[in-house]
Structure 1
Amino acid sequence: MPTDDLPDYPVARYLGIDTVSEPTFTADGTLLYLADTAGSPDVWRRAGADAAPERLTGHDQRVSFVAASPTRAEAAFGMDRGSDERDQLFVYDLETGEETDLTADPSSIHSWGGWSPDGDRIAYAANRRRTDTFDVHVQRRDATADGSDVVLEGLGGFLEVAAWGPDGDRLALIDARASFAQDLYVLDLTVAADTDAAIAPDDTATDATATDATAPTDLASHPAVIRVNADDDATYADPTFGADGGLYVRTNQPDDHTVLARFDLEAVAGASPDERPAGPDDPALSVVAARDGWNVDGYALDRGSGRVAYTANVDGYSELVVGELADPTTVRPIAEPDVAADAVDPGVIETLAWGPDAERLVAGHSATDRPGRAVVVAVDDRPTTTVLADHGTLGLPHETFPAPEIVRYETFDGREIPAYWTLPPGVDADDPATEVPVIVDIHGGPEHQRRPWFQPMKAFYLRRGYAVFEPNVRGSSGYGKAYTHLDDTDKRMDSVADLAAAVDWLADRPAVDDDRIVAYGRSYGGFMVLAAITEYPDLWAAAVDFVGIADFETFLENTGEWRRSHREQEYGALENTELLERISPIHRVDRIACPLFVQHGANDPRVPVSEAEQIIDAVSARGVPVESCVFDDEGHHTTSRDNRIEQFERIAAFLDDHVGGA
């Protein structure tokens, strides 16, 4: 029941709140963005503060991104079917409303790479040739289906087209070997045009799974490709070519935390990666911007003006910095850091994009009490903001969305674990007579991070009298490279022990009823739920598992082929059955004592629905209460609003039945 005098709003009211994401500018300065007003994300447009928002696409499937042409009145967008993540690419004519399907291969994934600087071509990666391998495609903007040129064949796993060079003759590529280990490459399209797209020296080695000793293992084996990074154990994200040809990138190569850095590509070309030292001593790498002790987690560079905006992730909250390049490796602030940081309300900035004149910057922003929205910043020494896309909270009052308290608790090895702690409105933290139940909400990844963004169901649970505890256990991002590796492979269960320590911390809170604590999480967080209730069964009153892994062996066997080697780097090789069995909850299912709710989507390409099916069957066979909600038209994420309402209404009833709110 509600803990104050505010009305008890239903689930549908909370989930009816629109979310705005991916805001960007067109060539003439019009704002484009995604909004889920109709139930799933579509492309919207708003020409200015005095113009009404206009929905452009009208599909019953999820639109995943929108990218405006740099020169024409058109935009690319991606869309899958049934949340299967097999994106197809389309171009939308902003003048006529006509849509053109650029790929028309629904069995394959097409990962957007960007528009060429002149707007005549697009680049993307696709697994058309082999389901386990992504190749690099370049295609004219008016070509369709089979009109692309494969300019480079991949060698297996994730390969991403990340940026075009300023003259349209180069592409930056990222090959993700693991979540925190990528290789960064530059592909010369002029050389590639005169070279076979295959890297392999003979026909047999074009098989991405070939074991022949002559099979190449590095994209730089191709004459049109150079490897940029010298470090094998670092992250590289969001590469952008500068006006002088240098390559800017977010990386943790020189530091435990992610910085904005620049590679001198002339220095890269002058020495092979094996000849350069890894880490901070790489002579080709310069740190451009950093935030001591925290990650630079997003940036936007306008090549023409040299203006740069970036955000620092400080305990989950984004701090905005706006400046310009005084030289290729130095950012000169346009506004004092505290002034720029105050230009956008406290919360999370997920995307940044410059307008065509670099006088305006748009931020995709959300906060505990603000749904995703587009905030436009007019950049000068005293930045001002205008909210151009904010669809509101359907009249739900501000008090419905309380901000969390940042806490740290000690775990089994003395380490401090960061977390967000939120009590229901009106609850006195020091009143032992209150005895509120707690939902321990565990993020996925495992390398993701819980941050103070808008979560409508969290607000619903708080209004129903549940406190919410959101730990960033070891392995989470946001706290440095070393922290992310603390749960790798054979250290997997240490992160589960962090959950047991969280319950100990909660039990010491006067207002908490430690007999009513719920394990709750999705994706990898779903695995953590299952692991928690099998490793520490006496701690939990109920559990909710969204798309979680029950058996790492069957998960690795059945996950998308393009993901397998990437996931093995995190969890352990498929051949290491002893380890996989040891960390898989399915092998200790007889220890589960609390009621369990399992949600999944039949089209999930990441965690196959068979993971849900086997845990449901095993738990129900032992007489433990288990409820399930499996959607035939959803995947790893429940994207339809109607389905989200159904699933969360059922979960709310499940929790009230087995735990009970305040």
Structure 2
Amino acid sequence: GWGPDGSFLIVARHHSNTDNDLYRLDLENGEATLLTPHEGEARFRSPNVTPDGGRLFLATDRDGDFVRLARLDLATLDLQYLTPDDHDVEEVELSRNGRLLAATRNVGGYSDLLFFNGRGGRMPDPELPRGIVGGLAFSPDGGHLAFTLVGPTRNPDVWTMRLPDGEARRLTRSSTAGIPPKSFREPRVVRYPSFDGLEVPAVFYEPEDPEAPVVVNVHGGPESQSRPSFAPVTQYLLGRGHGVLLPNVRGSTGYGKGYTHLDDVRLRMDSVKDLAHAAYWLGERGHEKIAVMGGSYGGFMVLAALTEYPDLWSAGVDIVGIANLVTFLENTGSYRRKLREPEYGSLEEDGDFLRSISPIHKADRITAPLMVVHGKNDPRVPVGEAEQIVEKVRENGGNVGYLLYEDEGHGLAKLANRLDAYPKIAAFLDEHLGARVG
């Protein structure tokens, strides 16, 4: 955030995905002053300078398990917390005149929108449709708040809210490409038990057929969270007769700092056990055919699940995934290697362990049909990761399909490629799961 007179800027320096600092950068002499001294890991985000230039409103987990709304005195560096240590505050926005403060809070994947006065006092909560709120922006006079709202059955739109009475109005109506919105399915937020009794949160889009096959779709990161957002591919699979479970295995964000660190380095494979127990939980509910699918780090999880628990899965889909943690760290960008090593481990200290858990060295265990999708120009997970696993599975006589897109990077960004890839992925899942389309 900018200082009110434009003389300084608040900047961030990241040490890992879960640890950063904020500095006050003097724009006249270039001097940077540390504002957030701390021990261990802490996140400091969404800084907003007050009109008098003396304080910051921000979100941080420095002194607790969750990211809380706080006020930082720029002279003393004292922090005062404005929300309890029970849910992550994600976005903070202060009006230009400093009279109103808005913040979003992640409660089980859905957003709460909170309002405070300029002194930090809580104001009445507004009424909004259930969903995920982001992109907070006050009008210049502070009389309106604009934001985006997305939910499992509504694609993203811009909304505005008149203040202070909180009347919300939808400004845009994003196209659903002719698909009736009433055809979109709502999920349930569930929890299932893992090997050690941990209750793993998940978003479950249940199929109409109680015995239908289910696709377990694993998010990347791993410091990320599957949330009840609008997911076109999920709705597409539901329409073809598949259920979809999106687990937030240990290591995910949104459930506290402690939960996020439950998969660090030598604990990596405990999160794969969480995937296996998702399959057990689904099996107990009558779903016999189960596939595992994921992208980026989620692709690693797919391959790890297929090699560690080959008998549980009827198919796997690996999208821009990691097959070999050693070659991934060797070949990814140097800046990303530094950010990823606190989570994955370093080549110098943990190389043998990383080799021992890399799916590439256990590819002979893959018995389920596998589809691999990758972009040739991927700077994050180089295409060699896909080529390695495809070659190994083919050498072992396994069933593997490979979709390589010459003009893609980390993921499928271009519409033409998405329209090519996802029908092929769906057809692959139909074939090996036996879903009854329609």
Same fold (TM over 0.5): yes
Query: What's the TM-score bracket when you normalise by the shorter of the two chains?
Result: over 0.9
CA distance in 2, matches of 1:397, 1:292: 40
- 1:375 is the counterpart of 2:213: no
| Alpha-carbon offset, residue 392 of structure 1 | 2.7
Q: What is the identity, as a one-letter code, of the residue corresponding to 1:371?
A: N
| Alpha-carbon offset, residue 439 of structure 1 | 0.2
3-state SS of 1:346 partner: coil
Q: What is the identity, as a one-letter code, of the residue corresponding to 2:79?
A: L
3-state SS of 1:474 partner: coil
- What do residues 178-210 of structure 1 show as CA deviations (whole Å, max 9, x unaligned)? 111112211111222xxxxxxxxxxxxxxxxxx
Q: 1:228 aligns with which of 22, 29, 35?
A: 35
| Alpha-carbon offset, residue 363 of structure 1 | 1.2
CA distance in 2, matches of 1:562, 1:488: 19
The residue number in structure 1 matching 2:91 is 298
Q: Which has the higher helix share?
A: 2
Q: 1:634 aligns with which of 392, 408, 417?
A: 408
Q: What is the identity, as a one-letter code, of the residue corresponding to 2:404?
A: V
| Alpha-carbon offset, residue 290 of structure 1 | 1.5
The residue number in structure 1 matching 2:140 is 356
Contact 1:360 1:376 (C-alpha < 8 Å) held by counterparts = yes
Report the TM-score when normalising by structure 2: 0.96
The residue number in structure 2 matching 1:152 is none
CA distance in 2, matches of 1:622, 1:600: 21
- 1:321 is the counterpart of 2:128: no
Contact 1:602 1:635 (C-alpha < 8 Å) held by counterparts = yes
3-state SS of 1:586 partner: helix
Q: What is the identity, as a one-letter code, of the residue corresponding to 2:8?
A: R
The residue number in structure 1 matching 2:276 is 500
CA distance in 2, matches of 1:392, 1:310: 28
The residue number in structure 2 matching 1:117 is none
CA distance in 2, matches of 1:638, 1:331: 44
Contact 1:186 1:228 (C-alpha < 8 Å) held by counterparts = yes
CA distance in 2, matches of 1:389, 1:479: 32
- What do residues 413-468 of structure 1 show as CA deviations (whole Å, max 9, x unaligned)? 111111111222x43x4xxxxx2101001111101000010011111111111011
**Count of matched residue pairs:** 433
The residue number in structure 2 matching 1:460 is 236
The residue number in structure 1 matching 2:121 is 331
CA distance in 1, matches of 2:406, 2:24: 41
- 1:438 is the counterpart of 2:232: no
Contact 2:217 2:292 (C-alpha < 8 Å) held by counterparts = yes
- What do residues 159-194 of structure 1 show as CA deviations (whole Å, max 9, x unaligned)? xxxx222111112121111111112211111222xx
The residue number in structure 2 matching 1:661 is 435
3-state SS of 2:76 partner: helix
The residue number in structure 2 matching 1:178 is 16
CA distance in 1, matches of 2:75, 2:285: 58
The residue number in structure 2 matching 1:271 is none
Stretches of structure 2 that go unaligned for 5 or more consecutive residues are: none
Contact 2:319 2:411 (C-alpha < 8 Å) held by counterparts = no
CA distance in 2, matches of 1:303, 1:362: 14
Q: What is the identity, as a one-letter code, of the residue corresponding to 2:138?
A: W
3-state SS of 2:321 partner: coil
3-state SS of 1:190 partner: coil
Contact 1:182 1:235 (C-alpha < 8 Å) held by counterparts = yes
| Alpha-carbon offset, residue 292 of structure 1 | 4.9
Q: 1:247 aligns with which of 39, 51, 56?
A: 56
3-state SS of 1:396 partner: coil
| Alpha-carbon offset, residue 551 of structure 1 | 0.6
| Alpha-carbon offset, residue 319 of structure 1 | 0.9
The residue number in structure 1 matching 2:79 is 285
The residue number in structure 1 matching 2:172 is 389
The correspondence of residues 235-274 of structure 1 with structure 2, limited to 5 A, is 235-245=43-53, 246-268=55-77
3-state SS of 1:395 partner: coil
| Alpha-carbon offset, residue 353 of structure 1 | 1.1
| Alpha-carbon offset, residue 230 of structure 1 | 2.1
Contact 2:96 2:141 (C-alpha < 8 Å) held by counterparts = no
Larger radius of gyration: 1
CA distance in 1, matches of 2:250, 2:402: 29
- What do residues 594-621 of structure 1 show as CA deviations (whole Å, max 9, x unaligned)? 1111111122111111111111111111
CA distance in 1, matches of 2:319, 2:397: 21
Q: 1:541 aligns with which of 314, 318, 343?
A: 314
Contact 2:192 2:201 (C-alpha < 8 Å) held by counterparts = yes
Q: What is the identity, as a one-letter code, of the residue corresponding to 1:402?
A: R
Q: What is the identity, as a one-letter code, of the residue corresponding to 1:311?
A: T
Comparing 289-298 with 412-421, greater Cα deviation is found at 289-298
- What do residues 285-341 of structure 1 show as CA deviations (whole Å, max 9, x unaligned)? 111x3255211111211131421111111100001112321x2xx2341xx22xx1x
3-state SS of 1:458 partner: helix
Q: 1:420 aligns with which of 199, 203, 210?
A: 203
Comparing 436-445 with 605-614, greater Cα deviation is found at 605-614
Contact 1:173 1:184 (C-alpha < 8 Å) held by counterparts = yes
| Alpha-carbon offset, residue 248 of structure 1 | 2.1
Report the TM-score when normalising by structure 1: 0.64
CA distance in 2, matches of 1:610, 1:657: 28
The residue number in structure 2 matching 1:408 is 191
CA distance in 2, matches of 1:564, 1:488: 15
The residue number in structure 2 matching 1:574 is 347
CA RMSD of aligned residues (A): 1.3
CA distance in 2, matches of 1:606, 1:242: 37
The correspondence of residues 470-509 of structure 1 with structure 2, limited to 5 A, is 470-509=246-285
3-state SS of 2:28 partner: helix
CA distance in 2, matches of 1:227, 1:306: 27
Contact 2:65 2:85 (C-alpha < 8 Å) held by counterparts = no
CA distance in 2, matches of 1:563, 1:418: 28
Q: What is the identity, as a one-letter code, of the residue corresponding to 1:521?
A: G
3-state SS of 2:213 partner: strand
Q: What is the identity, as a one-letter code, of the residue corresponding to 1:587?
A: H
- What do residues 118-176 of structure 1 show as CA deviations (whole Å, max 9, x unaligned)? xxxxxxxxxxxxxxxxxxxxxxxxxxxxxxxxxxxxxxxxxxxxx22211111212111
- 1:189 is the counterpart of 2:44: no
Contact 2:13 2:20 (C-alpha < 8 Å) held by counterparts = yes
CA distance in 2, matches of 1:581, 1:555: 11
The residue number in structure 1 matching 2:301 is 528
Contact 1:291 1:312 (C-alpha < 8 Å) held by counterparts = no
CA distance in 2, matches of 1:566, 1:309: 30
- What do residues 69-114 of structure 1 show as CA deviations (whole Å, max 9, x unaligned)? xxxxxxxxxxxxxxxxxxxxxxxxxxxxxxxxxxxxxxxxxxxxxx
The correspondence of residues 10-29 of structure 1 with structure 2, limited to 5 A, is none
The correspondence of residues 1-150 of structure 1 with structure 2, limited to 5 A, is none
3-state SS of 2:185 partner: coil
| Alpha-carbon offset, residue 558 of structure 1 | 0.8
CA distance in 2, matches of 1:637, 1:240: 33
3-state SS of 1:436 partner: coil
Stretches of structure 1 that go unaligned for 5 or more consecutive residues are: 1-162, 193-223, 269-283, 430-434
